[in-house]
């Protein structure tokens, strides 16, 4: 019997002004090791009892939906999930389960998903492409949806930039982080973000890193979400003072991502210190961009 291993990278969405638009794949991975079975058996490492419940396991739900989408009955699967990406922290852990479920379902049917097929299934579980796309394809991706169709493009990301990600010791669900956002925003705030996200992309392409500090500012989501992240402004300030080029909330939070060319440990320690000041434990990881995206390995 064949064992399938699907490796899916972490992702950091938004990157400041690119709310629901930009996403960056990072070299930290969740792995899904799957064997055929007539029952559902789930093991998680480290152990997450909730994820071992087949009714609640996102990977199993997506795999089942994918099999049914392809016209097959889902009989079961034996799955080992190696969870390296912190859960509910804005690093795309749910997206890894969605991408892996779709890829596993298509693989079982000896097919590969087209973009249309991928999004038709994926959006049933998560309606934003900014984590899904880099988790699937790798790299830095900009995406939009028009009349139900997803359009996207990969942006060259300079190898010399790395991500220092601070992971505070508290979860924040995307649902909660979206519930604090207003229905409408002023035109000047929309203009503010359009200007900055354009600047961000251009600054990366031209290696004008001095622009990233301004280009990663945002008025669409961070000003509302920061009430959920103690000492948010200080985390940003300390990271910039320690040499970060630009800093933003990672996805819906609670992680914060700093892009930098040097001083990585100084930046990470400074961000941890800012959380510690509010009695919140935190750690940081130095990550690099993952260009390949998801990988399917067969034993």
What residues make contact with ligand HSE under the rule CB under 6 A? 13-14, 20, 128, 130-131, 174, 177-178, 221, 251-252
Shortest Å distance, C-beta 3 to ligand HSE: 30
CB nearer to ligand HSE: give 28 or 40: 28
- Residue 82's DSSP bridge partners are 31, 45
Q: What is the DSSP letter of 184?
A: -
**Interhelix angle 129-137/93-108, nearest 10 degrees:** 60
CB nearer to ligand HSE: give 134 or 293: 134
CB 112, CB 56: distance < 8 Å: no
CB nearer to ligand HSE: give 130 or 290: 130
* Phi, psi (rounded to 5 degrees) for 165: -115, 125
**Region of residue 71 (left: phi > 0; alpha: psi -120 to 50; beta: else):** left
Shortest Å distance, C-beta 222 to ligand HSE: 10
CB nearer to ligand HSE: give 23 or 264: 23
What's the half-sphere exposure (Cβ side, CA atoms, 13 Å) at 139?
14
In angstroms, rounded to a whole number, what is the distance separating the alpha carbons of residues 218 and 196?
8
CB nearer to ligand HSE: give 254 or 294: 254
Shortest Å distance, C-beta 269 to ligand HSE: 26
Shortest Å distance, C-beta 130 to ligand HSE: 5
Shortest Å distance, C-beta 13 to ligand HSE: 4
CB nearer to ligand HSE: give 13 or 140: 13
Q: Do you find a cis peptide bond into 46, omega within 30 degrees of 0? A: yes
Helices (H) and strands (E) in the chain, counts: 10, 11
């Amino acid at each position: 019997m064949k064992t399938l291993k699907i490796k899916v990278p972490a992702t950091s969405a938004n990157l400041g002004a690119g709310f629901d638009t930009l996403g960056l794949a990072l070299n930290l991975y969740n792995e899904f090791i799957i064997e055929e079975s007539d029952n559902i058996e789930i093991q998680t490492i480290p152990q997450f009892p909730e994820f071992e419940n087949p009714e609640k396991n996102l990977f199993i739900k997506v795999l089942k939906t994918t099999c049914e989408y392809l016209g097959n009955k889902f009989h079961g699967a034996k799955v080992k999930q190696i969870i390296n990406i912190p859960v509910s922290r804005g690093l795309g852990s749910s997206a890894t389960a969605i991408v892996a479920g779709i890829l596993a379902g298509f693989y079982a049917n000896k097919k590969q998903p087209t973009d249309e097929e991928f999004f038709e299934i994926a959006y049933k579980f998560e309606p934003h492409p900014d984590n899904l796309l880099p988790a699937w394809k790798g790299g830095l991706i900009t995406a939009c949806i028009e009349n139900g169709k997803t359009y996207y493009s990969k942006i060259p990301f300079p190898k010399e930039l790395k991500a220092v990600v601070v992971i505070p010791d508290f979860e924040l669900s995307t649902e909660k982080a979206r519930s604090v956002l207003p229905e409408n925003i002023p035109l000047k705030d929309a203009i503010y973000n359009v200007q900055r996200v354009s600047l961000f992309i251009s600054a990366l392409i031209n290696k004008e890193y001095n622009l990233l500090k301004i280009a990663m500012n945002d008025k669409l989501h961070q000003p509302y979400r920061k009430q959920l992240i103690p000492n948010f402004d200080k985390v940003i300030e300390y990271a910039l003072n320690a040499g970060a080029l630009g800093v933003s909330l990672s996805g819906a939070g609670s992680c914060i991502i700093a892009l930098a060319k040097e001083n990585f440990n100084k930046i990470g320690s400074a961000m941890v210190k800012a959380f510690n000041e509010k009695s919140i434990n935190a750690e940081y990881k130095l990550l690099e961009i993952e260009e390949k995206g998801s990988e399917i390995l067969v034993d």
